[in-house]
Structure 1
């Protein structure tokens, strides 16, 4: 089939070509877009919103912490294991800015699955939510992990609200099983140390590995797909080109710097990671992170707070929403 076969079949507004050399790395895209959309919100979660400029500053601080306060070197692997929280994009982009390879890790993994992924990836650092600290303590001796950064649910809240959130999660809801990891550094402390240090820019190329994304392991052991900066940037540009297609009445389907996206799927899965952490950069999207989409009533309540323009999801999630009486009531009120 000739390459030009599709030229007259694409929707109006979709370019036939993308410039794969337009950016040098994912971080090149990230830093340019943080300047372009500096004052625009990028992520919201649990009542807190970060702008692109704030994400830029927080991720730079996290990168500086990794560079100046650990023995991590460019090319080393860092596992990130948490649900949809503001700490996730800060950790991921901070790690990439430090030249590290991100290993997305499912926080619902069993000890056996965690042990396999940490060993197979060669992870030397782990960013984890304290709710899963007991499992981390169990598998740690069998891994090469040297550095632990511990996240708490309320880290990005104000001091008073953060203390309240963490107390409720730990003492009231009893969601944090007892564990002991005295060597772990708190996420807030890591950001504080990073702000007092200087991030060193790391030269990265399109064929450098950016992410190890593990498969579901449905046919055996999970395997890590090596995603290069070039892979991710090409995908960003392809999606962005499709988003530029025109409505029947004219103008692009997606408006740059104006879209509000609901993000209920876990960012550690490739679908949501691509949509909300990668592709969002070129178009300046605002992403609303849903930490626990299984709480359908709470999810619907959160939807009611936003005038959103799109939602990434799966059929099982949409069916659960459609079958919930509160969702039907919510739809009737809009």
Structure 2
């Protein structure tokens, strides 16, 4: 943090709850390995993860990751080599991540739903020499592996860590009953349990890992273009873990002493939000994560949550909304929930209001990107009302709104949000040209998001630069239209995009998913007419049964725009 920055430059500090520091000590650990090993020792007998009714202790994650780390080293992988991880939320995922880091290697998080083309791009771009992958997607790897640098494959199955009997049963159901494992042929692939057994007979060679070593290559979602690898150093992720911990402390300290801090992990761990805020933060505070392998299977999610007492629920707007609309929502005990964090996309006011009414816990909307490890700002966790903002910068973080020339815009004026702090990436992997487009000479990251800051230091996202609709010279922000339409009874989900228009350059197209079959186009038009100025009203309204989304649940406006 530059010494020239004074408290006058940080009006948001007055919004911090009592006890939340203005800054954090990023030197608390030299690396994530230090954080991991401290937690493995301190919380050895606690449950680290719960999966399909079974708990996995910190000691188990410690032992298995140590063995897998030795196995990877035994394959000739050396410090700095990249290892891809392509799995849903299963206990092998945290084992693999801890193993990769302990061996001095770099985690390359891969979306399991990638096509062979997308997977090939990421494996080639990252230069990954090994991959830990669940067998459900092995056929995708088979289709592209010959074109990639991958030489070593560790193959996981859903039931690997569940013990012989239950594991065999789960694997049988996944493979034979649900037929979720397409045929594949990967000669030389080694099964996860075999790799762990082999590694347990080997010694892990010590590796010196420092704050400036690369920990994670986190590929951007590609919702705004070609997927790029954000280089996250050990100190970047550590900083964000400590920032998030400090931020949540005012409510997390209210957990009764006899209860273990427990988080619902429904967001995919390969996404940086869950990677940092679920996995790494829970490791730091001795917490437990309830692993949800498929958040779209809402009956299974609710069945799992009914069995637990939990305190933290990071999610995206679409998941909060889907749960609220499920008939069995009230069968879950939400009373112990201390913090619900909304990120990844805008939280809609109607969803936030219903969530508070039904659970008693407000959704604290936060903001971040892969490039910021990810959290940059959040609403105070002590707030009881939805603010419609992304809150204020986290401890040790600076934010401002700038114009195209990089100058700060006047208070209350829209500008591109720029971020500076210890969680900001080192740059894009092997893309100095792309890095130069987003990093200023004095270390500010240009987010590509348009926002405004008010006099209290609260920021509000107006929209992505690329999602903005330009109508007769007026800027129209899809988030605003979507927020309005979500207040209409009968609407389950919606998205607004720009379409070409001969008269005004662009016009608004609204795509709606109905909750009530009786909802008509006229209902929507009348509702919008009463709440939106003329040029913001949708010219075209289309009803669909679902909206295209990323695996995290972010609505893919680009796909809707392209089709339009």
Specify the TM-score bucket, using the shorter chain as the normaliser. over 0.9
- Give how far 1:16 is off: 2.7
The aligned counterpart of 1:271 is 273
Mapped pair 1:32 → 2:34? no
- Give how far 1:71 is off: 1.7
For the 8 Å contact 1:130–1:151, the answer to whether it is kept is yes
Q: How does 1:57-136 map to 2 (within 5 A)?
A: 57-68=63-74, 70-136=75-141
For the 8 Å contact 2:30–2:211, the answer to whether it is kept is yes
Q: How does 1:44-63 map to 2 (within 5 A)?
A: 44-63=50-69
Whole-angstrom distance in 1 between the partners of 2:124 and 2:334: 51
Mapped pair 1:216 → 2:221? yes
Q: How many residues align?
A: 329
- Give how far 1:12 is off: 1.1
The aligned counterpart of 1:300 is 302
Whole-angstrom distance in 1 between the partners of 2:309 and 2:333: 13
Whole-angstrom distance in 2 between the partners of 1:178 and 1:299: 28
- Describe the shift of the 1:289–1:57 C-alpha distance in structure 2 as closer, same or farther (beyond 3 A): same
Q: What SS is found at the alignment partner of 1:321?
A: helix
- Give how far 1:62 is off: 0.8
Q: What SS is found at the alignment partner of 1:178?
A: coil
Q: What SS is found at the alignment partner of 2:315?
A: coil
What RMSD, in angstroms, separates the aligned Cα atoms of the two structures?
A: 2.0
Mapped pair 1:176 → 2:188? no
- Give how far 1:331 is off: 6.1
Correspondence for 1:138 among 108, 132, 143: 143
Structure having the larger proportion of residues in strand: 2
The aligned counterpart of 2:6 is 2
Mapped pair 1:316 → 2:318? yes
For the 8 Å contact 1:48–1:156, the answer to whether it is kept is no
Whole-angstrom distance in 2 between the partners of 1:255 and 1:223: 43
Q: What SS is found at the alignment partner of 2:55?
A: strand
- Give how far 1:222 is off: 0.3
For the 8 Å contact 1:263–1:312, the answer to whether it is kept is yes
- Could you tell which deviates more after superposition, 153-162 or 78-87? 153-162
- Describe the shift of the 1:18–1:167 C-alpha distance in structure 2 as closer, same or farther (beyond 3 A): same
Mapped pair 1:244 → 2:255? no
Mapped pair 1:226 → 2:231? yes
Whole-angstrom distance in 2 between the partners of 1:72 and 1:332: 45
Spell out, residue by residue over 1:188-236, the C-alpha distance to the aligned partner (whole angstroms, 9 max, x if none): 0011011111112211010110000000112221000000001011111
- Could you tell which deviates more after superposition, 195-204 or 324-333? 324-333
- Give how far 1:49 is off: 1.3
Q: What SS is found at the alignment partner of 1:21?
A: helix
Larger RCO, structures 1/2 (Cα 8 Å, 6+ apart): 1
Spell out, residue by residue over 1:126-167, the C-alpha distance to the aligned partner (whole angstroms, 9 max, x if none): 111101111111000110000000000110011111111111
- Give how far 1:320 is off: 0.8
The aligned counterpart of 1:196 is 201
- Based on CA coordinates, which of the two structures has the bigger radius of gyration? 2
For the 8 Å contact 1:41–1:52, the answer to whether it is kept is yes
The aligned counterpart of 1:42 is 48
Q: What SS is found at the alignment partner of 1:261?
A: strand
The aligned counterpart of 2:210 is 205
- Describe the shift of the 1:163–1:14 C-alpha distance in structure 2 as closer, same or farther (beyond 3 A): same
Structure having the larger proportion of residues in helix: 1
- Give how far 1:328 is off: 3.6
The aligned counterpart of 1:283 is 285
For the 8 Å contact 2:309–2:333, the answer to whether it is kept is no
Q: What SS is found at the alignment partner of 2:244?
A: helix
Spell out, residue by residue over 1:14-39, the C-alpha distance to the aligned partner (whole angstroms, 9 max, x if none): 12332221211000111112112222
- Give how far 1:3 is off: 3.8
- Describe the shift of the 1:3–1:58 C-alpha distance in structure 2 as closer, same or farther (beyond 3 A): farther
Q: What SS is found at the alignment partner of 1:325?
A: coil
